[in-house]
Amino acid sequence: MAAEPFYPLPKGAPEDKEAKPKGWLYHTFHGGFIVHTVLILPWLLGAFVIIGALYLLYAGSYVAGTAILGLVSLQYVTTPKYWPEFRQLIKDMDPRCYYDHCELHLPHGVEDIKNEKSMLCYHPHGALCVGFSWNGAHAPELKHIPAKWLVVDVLMHAPLFGRILRWIGNVGGADAGNMKRLMKEGSNIGIIPGGFEDATIMKKGSERIWLKKRKGFIKYALRFGYRVHPVYNFGECDTFYTFHWLAKLRMKLNAFKIPAVFFFGNVFMPLFPRTNINMHTFIGKAIELPKIDEPTKEDVDKWHKTYCDALQVLFDKHKAEAGRADAVLEMW
């Protein structure tokens, strides 16, 4: 018999018959903490493994240094395969249980997200993409919807973390070539339009997004005739304290694909998000874009404004439900 769900099933979502019953490891804080450890530490510390191996070689520990470099290099000479059991384990350990509250809302029902040509646009990025990860790529409510969740391409090739992403299987690089290939096939995709700039302007307690000049995703959606869903993560801005000064300088670093964000989260584990947050992610109604093979600047500007207006409506409609009735959306 299938386990009872530990998350509200939205309208139209099928029962998850593979879900594990609640236990010490499943659907508890312990499991959520382990998932964060498995995903965050390799992402943040993968580069230091290589630095450490080089130092060992420099210090004369040739066997240890060579062994570490050999293990790390395996992901570059082999192709890590999708590991469905690993992906299911992440869902069962339920990373959302790490937080006081973390929930995905589908006010228009899950059936509003079609099985092809749907683009889910998550805002804001935050420091570590909590909403995009747990209420998007790993959300059990969306398990039956085929989609690729796109992250900055360098992460797909990062030491250790790149292998983990390939084990998960539904994550891909957000480079232009990969996006065009997926959209030409009609695949559903999840993206964070604000990217590094979103993270750079993050300030605890402030609902900030980088969107006014970010129009490329709209151009692609027009070119391939996609339905675009605005998505907002209430509570993302509370996951970390950030250094939010010197914004202009840090924006210049972003131009070189350098994430100029400095953050502090959990008091005992600063690299981990704060646990005492209320995360509510709302997926808005799809915007039907026409298919225009060569959209003009005027086409892009028109539909970009339509998208921005729809995101603003989504924000204002649900902010009280998310416990942030006085919140103001800052579009940079």
Q: What is the pLDDT along the chain (332 residues), one digit of tens a residue?
A: 233 444 555 555 556 666 667 777 888 999 999 999 999 988 877 778 888 888 899 899 989 989 988 888 888 888 889 999 999 999 999 999 999 999 999 999 999 999 999 999 999 999 999 999 999 999 999 988 999 999 999 889 888 899 999 999 999 999 999 999 999 999 999 999 999 889 889 999 999 999 999 999 999 999 999 999 999 999 999 999 998 777 777 777 777 766 677 899 999 999 999 999 999 999 999 999 999 999 999 999 999 999 999 999 999 999 999 999 999 999 99
Predicted confidence at residue 258, as pLDDT, reads: 67
Cβ neighbours around 325 below 10 Å, total: 8
Residue 85 CB partners (closer than 8 Å, separation 6+):
none
DSSP β-ladder status, 287-288 and 227-234: antiparallel
Give the domains, in start order, of the chain with CATH numbers. 81-331 (3.40.1130)
Closest to 151 (Cα-Cα) out of 135, 164, 132: 132
Q: Which helix (H) or strand (E) holds 242?
A: strand 241-242
Q: Let me know if 70 is exposed, middle or buried by CB neighbors in 10 A (0-12, 13-18, 19+).
A: exposed
Residues recorded for the chain: 332
Q: Are 101 and 279 in contact (CB under 8 A)?
A: yes
